[in-house]
Structure 1
Amino acid sequence: MNLSALHCCVLIPTYNNHKTLRRVIEGVMEHADGLDIIVINDGSTDETATILAGYGQRIRVLHNEGNKGKGFSLRRGFQEAIRLGYRNAISIDSDGQHLPSDIPLFVQAAAANPGAVIMGSRDMEQAGVPGKSSFGNKFSNFWFKFETGITLPDTQTGYRLYPLGPIKHLWLFTTKFETEIEVIVKLAWKGVAILPIPIHVIYDKDERVTHFRPFRDFTRISILNTYLVLLTLLYYLPVRLVKAIRDKGLWEIIKREALKPEETNVSKAVSLGFGFFMGIVPIWGFQLMVGIPIAVYFRMNKVLFLTAANISLPPLIPFVIFGSYKFGGLFYQNGVQLKTITDLTLESINLNFAQYFLGGTLLALFAGIAGFGISLFTLMIFRKSPLAG
């Protein structure tokens, strides 16, 4: 199947990439079967406009009034592709890191998976990949998995094939680099399949110009992820859980996660120990919000983690707080010392906050280590670890 059968066009958002733009366009022309190439010039101040004018009617050019951002350009490209009646659109960066010769890989994958987003997955461990890019990608992959339940090796790639039907009904509000995260999260929430394929990538430090501003854009991505995580916790995670319960049954899900026969005793003990730690550490109201993503990222046993974290259930909270305060008193004392748990009030904790916080942190560490040790010892007695043969 070719691009024509897919009703596909190619989107090239560009901003001040005059060194590589011509090579990218001509490479796309070679592999796009003469279909529409839509270049979105995001207010470039270099030779971009002159380069684009040289192609005449062979490409479609959209000019933004000023530098609006990559996300704005992508969204404008989507709108133009939809207006022209295309069903799919391939986006490719203009900085030369992507090879147009990989376009047939997207065509093949899209033909085998109609309606799916096809993500070009770069090898982020190869020589020449900037360290900040590798770290940022891992960070993005983690939050994408938390927000959607889908594991992807490269969520920050700009080389993608989008199905335009679902995008037509998306509400997108971001305008910079974070749009590429927003769009795939919201498509995943709509049940659109997202599939990675390996692609080639080139990082030529003498030629490539990146407009990613680490502090500012990383902050914008973090704010977006905060918003998406809140939506996930309040709506999409419960929806996924209800669906899983409906399909498999609650008890079966809990039993399967808790038992996991392929899981080692050490792994189970780590999950329990971490649960005890998070249940006591003095960040009340945020313990599960912090603990669950960490447990998911490190592939801990979520049932065992949550079970152990319930050491701080409401009836036990006063005892945990008083125990933290007393434990802290072994190393540091301030304020009026409390003699019994009946002396525990919000005012007394405020007066002794430093002692309580230090004690809570140390007690959480102690409980986590002790929980790990006791759990591992018990499991070694009653359960044969898979690695033991």
Structure 2
Amino acid sequence: MNNELIRQRITDLNVCVIIPTYNNHRTLNRVLDGVLELTNNIIIVNDGSTDTTSTILKDYQQLQQLHFPQNSGKGIALREGFKQAIALGYEFAITIDSDGQHFPTDIPDFITELELNNGKDLLIIGSRNMEQEGVPGKSSFGNKFSNFWFWIETGIQLKDTQSGFRLYPLNVIKNLKFYTSKFEFEIEVIVKTAWKDIEVKNIPIHVLYDETERVSHFRPFKDFTRISILNTWLVFLTGIYYFPRRLFRNIKKKGLKRFFVEDLLGTNDSPKKKALSIALGTFIGFSPLWGLHTFLVITLAIFLRLNKAISFAFSNVSLPPFIPFIIFASLELGQWVLGERISYSIEEMMDNFQAFEHLKTYLVGSFILAIIGATVFGLIGYIFFSFTNKKNIALKNE
């Protein structure tokens, strides 16, 4: 495509490109030169680099530059870049990482998508092929995990929520309040944008993971902890306000029957997949791994590629009102298997039951109960979904 035409399209849509950088001197030139072939509307944010970044940027004095005296985090770098872009009158900003994993040649695809949306506010995230060779396993898992929580928090299903190659609507961004400063900012901003009823979508992009030159500043423990804390807060807000609002809107739009079939049952999944999802959720819900149920069921559903909504829903068989009965049934099964006899009632168990004295019995019984529950609920689910699936096919063929 003609680069001059692309330049004009970028100018007409009032788009700039923000490039946050921190100690990426090996790839910075390549990224900057690649973007310069398409536009001069560039804002570079040097986030306190201690390598030769400052020297490199002296060759790009014609571009807008922000220099921090010390590293503040990607979130702060992006927020300051947005402020500068808004002050300069831009309406949209494309962000691209300076570590060389993104290809500036994909920028026209963002512009095309924006044009197809008639210039309306839109947030676009570049979707990487996480199955391609060279993609770190931790990146692939982290992305799937993030995608799930984004779906929980917004109801929007995306293939990639962690890519830093994005197009942001600045008219929306300038009216939002943000509290995060590191990598977790990229989650906060897309969730809060979606909560404003702005469309958030993926478009495919190319990606390169060259470990010989790429420098990643993601700290697995610290940054994952920050992200987990943020998601906990966002899920809380979702539960008390945004989910009820979204639920009411969807039911009103689709009607109760259609909402149940499409949104809760996942009509595109096979009966086998739905049944296995029920079985997984039930097993985790009956298991003695209290406090870890949500984390385990989501993680396993992601790895096993099961229906996460169904798995999560059935893991709630262990809601507080049912816990005494689950423990009672587990102890009964444990006694039967181990040949023991414990004299107690449900009332005694709730008031003054010495759990640690019967821990072995409880653990054995709870896993047996989990296996039985998963088998029974899974089979019932398979029969139910097979029947409804055949019925739906028959109705479509009439």
TM-score by length of 1: 0.86
Indicate yes or no: 2:145 matched with 1:146.
no
5 Å matches for 1:115-126? 115-126=121-132
* Partner residue, 1:96: 100
* Cα distance change, pair 284–75 in 1 and its aligned pair in 2 (3 A): same
Indicate yes or no: 2:13 matched with 1:22.
no
**Contact conserved, 1:265 with 1:385, CA < 8 A, in 2?**
no
Q: 1:298 aligns with which of 306, 329, 348?
A: 306
**Contact conserved, 1:118 with 1:161, CA < 8 A, in 2?**
yes
Q: 1:203 aligns with which of 186, 203, 209?
A: 209
**Contact conserved, 1:278 with 1:287, CA < 8 A, in 2?**
yes
* Cα distance change, pair 307–331 in 1 and its aligned pair in 2 (3 A): closer
* Partner residue, 2:110: 106
* Cα distance change, pair 21–348 in 1 and its aligned pair in 2 (3 A): same
* Cα distance change, pair 168–127 in 1 and its aligned pair in 2 (3 A): same
Distance 2:100 2:162 in 1: 16
Distance 1:137 1:260 in 2: 22
Matched letter for residue 326 of structure 2 = V
My pick for the range that moved more, 239-248 or 290-299, is 290-299
Which SS does the other structure have where 2:177 is aligned? Answer: coil
CA-to-aligned-CA distance 1:94-129 (integer Å, 9 cap, x gap):
111111111111111111122111111111222222
**Contact conserved, 2:9 with 2:111, CA < 8 A, in 1?**
yes
* Partner residue, 1:4: 11
* Cα distance change, pair 66–115 in 1 and its aligned pair in 2 (3 A): same
Cα displacement (A) at 1:30 = 0.7
Which SS does the other structure have where 1:19 is aligned? Answer: coil
Distance 2:34 2:226 in 1: 32
CA-to-aligned-CA distance 1:124-145 (integer Å, 9 cap, x gap):
2222222222222122112111
**Contact conserved, 2:44 with 2:63, CA < 8 A, in 1?**
yes
* Partner residue, 1:240: 246
* Cα distance change, pair 12–359 in 1 and its aligned pair in 2 (3 A): same
Matched letter for residue 55 of structure 1 = Y
Cα displacement (A) at 1:7 = 0.9
* Cα distance change, pair 294–30 in 1 and its aligned pair in 2 (3 A): same
Distance 1:71 1:311 in 2: 38
* Cα distance change, pair 309–213 in 1 and its aligned pair in 2 (3 A): closer
Cα displacement (A) at 1:17 = 0.9
Cα displacement (A) at 1:321 = 2.9
* Partner residue, 2:5: none
* Cα distance change, pair 214–77 in 1 and its aligned pair in 2 (3 A): same
**Contact conserved, 1:146 with 1:293, CA < 8 A, in 2?**
no
* Cα distance change, pair 59–305 in 1 and its aligned pair in 2 (3 A): closer
5 Å matches for 1:1-389? 2-32=9-39, 34-35=40-41, 37-56=42-61, 58-113=62-117, 114-254=120-260, 264-274=270-280, 276-277=282-283, 280-282=286-288, 298-299=306-307, 302=310, 306=313, 314=321, 318-331=324-337, 337-350=342-355, 352=357, 354=359, 355-376=361-382, 384=390
**Contact conserved, 1:324 with 1:360, CA < 8 A, in 2?**
yes
Distance 2:252 2:186 in 1: 32
Distance 1:263 1:172 in 2: 37
Q: How many residues align?
A: 383
Distance 2:314 2:210 in 1: 50
Cα displacement (A) at 1:373 = 3.2
Distance 2:127 2:289 in 1: 37
CA-to-aligned-CA distance 1:175-227 (integer Å, 9 cap, x gap):
11111111111111111111211111222222211111222222221221122
Distance 1:241 1:196 in 2: 23
* Partner residue, 2:4: none
CA-to-aligned-CA distance 1:247-293 (integer Å, 9 cap, x gap):
23335433566777765443453355445445544567886797689
TM-score by length of 2: 0.84
Distance 1:211 1:308 in 2: 36
Which SS does the other structure have where 2:126 is aligned? Answer: strand
Distance 1:187 1:27 in 2: 29
Matched letter for residue 306 of structure 2 = F
Q: Structure 1: where are the runs of 5+ without partners?
A: none
Distance 1:342 1:248 in 2: 45
**Contact conserved, 2:330 with 2:366, CA < 8 A, in 1?**
yes
Cα displacement (A) at 1:228 = 1.5
Which SS does the other structure have where 2:121 is aligned? Answer: coil
Distance 2:280 2:248 in 1: 26
